[in-house]
Amino acid sequence: MTKGKDIIVVEGLTKRYGNTTTVKGISFTVREGEVFGILGPNGAGKTTTLEMIEALRSIDEGSVILDGIDVAKHPQKIRHIIGIQLQSSAFYDKVTLREQLVMFASFYGKQVDPMELLRSVELEDKANSYPEKLSGGQKQRFSIASALVNEPRVLFLDEPTTGLDPQARRHLWDLIKSIKKRGITVVLTSHYMEEAQLLCDRLAIMDSGKIIAMDSPKKMIKDLLDRGFKKPEVVEQADLEDVYIDLTGKALRE
């Protein structure tokens, strides 16, 4: 794989809430075109980190340079080059999906082909529906479509598949892969290790506000094995998820 330039450079990033330091001077880079994952237990500081990079939370110490722009100094410029998933509460109840995408794009002074965007997230047939009629997986895909209206260079996805059924998760994985193929850099958080292993070129593992490991999933696994790690039991060639998908199929249900 050719190495892209560093599109995000994070140095000494720090966040305090009262007397608690939640993000403790972390540094890392994200390369252009890669899928970069941030993993870690609840409360590790992942969302706070993402939101500082997205110029949604103030930075107490350190810096983030995104595509050459200092995030703290030029938050407005950042908003034009990043895609952030909207929470479904941000959708307008009585506006169709198609019209909503046109509206969101207009906030950035852009024109979009809403049908093409909806097609890219497998929601073409819902173009004239209202958000309240969508299933969880459909809402997630629509929120990704809404994050793409400004043709971002970097897309941020905070736990994109949490709460989805196995079919919807697989379709979202395919969507993320296709977004990467379009050259968009993706930064995501997840609690699903198989998802991180499948999607991410590189990962940072965060715990208690610090990055405790950073590498490709393959290298992290190799390093663990090199340290003499052995699984307590031989792993079966199939698991319950394989059974479930075999029985219920890969097709999206709604």
Binding of ligand ADP at residue 37 (CB under 6 A)?
Answer: no
Binding of ligand ADP at residue 187 (CB under 6 A)?
Answer: no
Beta carbon of residue 190, minimum distance to ligand ADP (angstroms, whole number): 11
Q: Among residues 33, 37, 40, 83, which is the contact residue for ligand ADP, using CB under 6 A?
A: 40
Angstrom distance (rounded) from CA 135 to CA 157 = 19
H or E element in which residue 139 lies: helix 136-147
Number of residues that bind ligand ADP (CB under 6 A): 10
Q: For Cα atoms 85, 206, 77, give the angle at the middle one, nearest 5 degrees.
A: 40
Binding of ligand ADP at residue 47 (CB under 6 A)?
Answer: yes
161 neighbors 169 (Cβ within 8 angstroms): yes
Beta carbon of residue 168, minimum distance to ligand ADP (angstroms, whole number): 22
Site for ligand ADP in 1-30 (CB under 6 A): 17, 22
Dihedral, 140, 162, 252, 184 alpha carbons, nearest 10? 60
Beta carbon of residue 17, minimum distance to ligand ADP (angstroms, whole number): 3
Beta carbon of residue 95, minimum distance to ligand ADP (angstroms, whole number): 30
Binding piece for ligand ADP, criterion CB under 6 A, among 42-50, 70-78, 137-145, 245-253? 42-50
Angstrom distance (rounded) from CA 133 to CA 127 = 11
Output the CA–CA distances (angstroms, integers) from residue 19 to 22, 45, 51, 59, 206, in the order listed.
Answer: 9, 15, 20, 15, 20
Beta carbon of residue 121, minimum distance to ligand ADP (angstroms, whole number): 24
Angstrom distance (rounded) from CA 109 to CA 56 = 20
Binding site for ligand ADP (CB under 6 A): 17, 22, 40, 42-48
